[in-house]
Amino acid sequence: MEFGKIDPSMWGFPDWIDPKVAKEGIAKQGDAAIMYGGMESYHAMCRFYSGCVYPFCILTFYTDDNRFFYKHELLQKYEWYWRLEPEIKYFCDIT
């Protein structure tokens, strides 16, 4: 097991997103009682793990952007990884 740090450049809003507009949208989701909708950190996590989000995904093929989790330096030595979520029950053997 390894632990590492996610650089703010990988976690924060991409340059093409207006942070003020994004925060307003996040607040609206929170006001509407959407599960985790009002949590900026949850939105950051979803962006981080999503991999390719239009229109940014088109650009990733032509740039060395490191915004996605699979480009994090700690994962470069692995062919694959398995992300386990808390409070999830598995109904089969994990081998």
Identify the pLDDT of residue 56.
47
**pLDDT for 30:** 94
pTM of the entire predicted model: 0.64
CA proximity to 12, closest of 79, 89, 66, 80: 66
For 44, half-sphere exposure in the C-beta direction (CA atoms, 13 angstrom radius) is 13
Q: Give the per-residue pLDDT at 65.
A: 56
Q: In this predicted model, what pLDDT tens digit does every residue of 12-37 receive, in sequence order?
A: 787 778 999 999 999 999 999 999 99
For 11-65, the DSSP string reads HS--TTS-HHHHHHHHHHHHHTT-TTTT-HHHHHHHHHHH---TTHHHHHTTS--
Task: Give the tens place of pLDDT for each residue, 22-77.
Answer: 999 999 999 999 999 999 988 888 877 776 544 445 444 444 555 677 778 888 88
